[in-house]
Structure 1
């Protein structure tokens, strides 16, 4: 299994860009793995992307950082296999 750092590099080199739902999952797992639970207020107004990212990250609240990193690596490995 690749490392969390290696997965961060590998995801940038995918041939096919994942769909928005997968991109949000990657973002949320990365943020949870690096920063822990979501902080700050949810972006509002017309910042739909910021709101979606916040919601995806908040959905992982309470997940340990090491588990988030493992799931991130597993998701990147699955995307590479499909690439």
Structure 2
């Protein structure tokens, strides 16, 4: 299975976890997914002051700047596998 196929499978599996991951885990998943899908975050697109959730998500993604698509995919897959091990799948 190619890395892209593994990444796609992990993205599918994350929707079927038995319970919702912690906020920190969700931010990590979001950041890795965005880095793998869209590359580095553009600081000019940071959400406004009142969008706390959007800012947290953007900041988590922005911290992944410089991480290659492949490395982000591998980290995302590993994170999902870790969550599956701790939370299980439905």
TM-score, length of structure 2 as denominator length? 0.87
Within-5 A mapping of 1:3-82: 3-39=6-42, 40-82=44-86
What is the CA deviation profile of residues 30-59 of structure 1, one whole-angstrom value per residue up to 9, with x for unaligned ones? 000011100242111311010001100000
Q: How many residues get paired?
A: 83
2-structure distance, mates of 1:54, 1:62: 15
Q: Structure 1 segments of 4 or more deviating over 4 A? A: none
Gaps of 5+ in 1: none
TM-score, length of structure 1 as denominator length? 0.94
Tell me how large the CA RMSD over aligned residues is: 1.4
